[in-house]
Amino acid sequence: MLLRKEGSGVIAIPQPSHAWLSGQMARAWGNEYFAALVPHEEVCLAAEQHDIGWQSWEETPALDAETGLPQEFRKVPPDVHVTLWRDGVRRARTIGRYTALLVSLHADTIYARYFDFAKASPENARAVRAFLDEQHLLQARLAASLRADPETGREAAPEAIRRNQLLIAALDWISLAICGGVKREIRIPDVPAEGDRKIDLSLRPRDETRALIFDELILDPWPFRESSFTVRAEGKRLYGSFSTQKDLQRALDDAEPVLVTALLHRA
C-alpha cells in the first residue's frame, strides 16, 4: 500500500494499481532517443504485473499500529515481504517465462535498493539471502530456456535482459513518485536510452500550483512517443486513523474510490 497525503486525509493506493500505472507508461515508451521495448508485450506485461504478489495482501492490508493506517509497503516485515515476492514470481510464471524472469529480476532490484543486510537481524538476512539464491537459480533456468527457443533467443541475450530489468526499475520509480505526489525534482537513474547509453531522467512539477490528486509533471529527457499523455492509478480516500484491523477493513471497504492522475509533459 502507498499512502498519499491529500487535504485532511490520505489516499491509499494498492501496489497492483501503482503497477498498472507503470504498465501505462511502458505501452507509451519509445522514440528516436529511447528504444522501443523488446519483446514489447512481455515487457509491458511485466511492468504492469511486477507487484502481482501483493494482490492478496492488498485485499486485507495490515494495520500499522503506529499510524492507525494501512501498513505502507516499505514497512512490511522482511519475512512477509519475501513471501509476497515469492508468490509474485510464482504467479508470473503462469503468464510466461519472460514476464516471470523480469518480475524475479525486479525482486533483485528491490532488495538491492531497499534492504540493508548490515542492519537486518540474522534471521531476516538469512531469509532474504535464501530467497535471492532461489531466484537466481530460477532466473538462470528461465534465461537458458528462452535462449534455447528460436522464437525468443535474441530477446533473451544477457544485455537485452539487463536492459529490460533497468527499464522495469525506472518505470517502477517514476510510478511510485507519481502515486506519492511529486513536490520537487526527482532523479531517476540508469535509464536505458538508445543503443547502450544509460541516462538519468528528471521528474518535476510543471509549476508551483498543484490541483488535488491531479498533477502536471515534466519528465526530461522525454522517453515517450507522444509529446504529452495522462496516466492514472486508483486508490481509496481515508480520513482519520483506526484502532483495530476490523475498523480499518470496514473503512477500506466503504471508502470513496479516487483516481490519482498525472499529465506528463515533454520539457
Contacts of 192 (CB under 8 A, 6+ apart): 34, 35, 163, 166, 167, 170, 198
- Rounded to whole angstroms, the Cα distance separating 46 from 43 reads 5
Please give the model's pTM, rounded to 2 decimal places.
0.95
User: What pLDDT was estimated at residue 214?
Assistant: 81
Q: Which range of residues forms the domain containing residue 228?
A: 2-266
User: In this structure, how many other beta carbons lie within 10 angstroms of the beta carbon of residue 86?
Assistant: 16
User: What pLDDT was estimated at residue 208?
Assistant: 59
Which letter does DSSP use for residue 213 in this model? T
H-helix or E-strand spanning residue 217: strand 214-220
Q: Is the pLDDT of residue 7 over 90?
A: no
User: Length of the chain, please?
Assistant: 267
Q: Write the burial class of residue 35 (CB in 10 Å: 0-12 exposed, 13-18 middle, 19+ buried).
A: middle
Name the domain count of the chain.
1
pLDDT tens profile 229-256: 999 999 999 999 999 999 999 999 999 9
